[in-house]
Structure 1
């Protein structure tokens, strides 16, 4: 991996806290494609740690937390902490698939916007964004 001048390092993965790491990895695999729990020398796979190597090269990691408390979008008292924007060609088809996989719509505004807001099965917000 090459590093940019002045940088300290590079992002290896994005880690999401959750109650069931493998279940959430499978959810995101259904949305993004990729391989769940592919061996990788950067980390070990355990009951409380699961990964998703996506086709784009991004790695998402899922870390089990016993007392997991989900964010409540857009409530600032339980902030979203982060969210993913997922580019899609067909917003309606992507929404149908996300809901089939267990996502919950957080968007009650409707209309012809170019993005929609959802929560994954454990409450992390994410957006489907028309490319």
Structure 2
């Protein structure tokens, strides 16, 4: 028997509404709220939340001396198409040199690492 149930994944960031908008373009869904806490209701009933963190320092990747804390794996049908889409929305490639893998690493506009992973 579980002691708890996962409620929501929350990303600290300097501008919750802007980062929720980025992920809404990537994942679909509806942005709800304004101010220090914004929710993104994605298709399938899941949510991501974004919380204002005035002193936010983006994680580093890769950096053995500075932990990235966590990252999101986003499943896609076509890596090249998805890559062009996230780059046009303001993502930054973190490992653009290795095209042989079935996944690629990016940073969102607030600096959080995320991966696009081929199905």
Confirm or deny a common fold (TM above 0.5). Answer: yes
Residue 12, structure 1, aligned to residue 18, structure 2: no
Tell me by how many angstroms 1:21 deviates.
0.2
Instruction: From 12, 20, 25, give the equivalent of 1:25.
Output: 20
The answer on whether the counterparts of 2:82 and 2:116 sit within 8 Å (CA) in structure 1 is: yes
- Structure 1: runs of 5 or more not aligned: 1-5, 38-44
Detail structure 1 runs of 4+ shifted over 6 Å in the superposition.
none
Tell me by how many angstroms 1:112 deviates.
2.6
Give, in whole Å, the separation in 2 of the partners of 1:112 and 1:31: 23
Tell me by how many angstroms 1:20 deviates.
0.2
- Structure 2: runs of 5 or more not aligned: none
- Taking only aligned residues, the RMSD between alpha carbons, in angstroms, comes to 1.1
Tell me by how many angstroms 1:58 deviates.
1.8
How many residue pairs get aligned? The number is 119
Give, in whole Å, the separation in 2 of the partners of 1:97 and 1:78: 28
Q: How does 1:1-131 map to 2 (within 5 A)?
A: 6-37=1-32, 45-131=33-119
Which deviates more, 12-21 or 45-54?
Answer: 45-54
Tell me by how many angstroms 1:77 deviates.
2.9
Tell me by how many angstroms 1:8 deviates.
1.3
Give, in whole Å, the separation in 1 of the partners of 2:37 and 2:94: 27
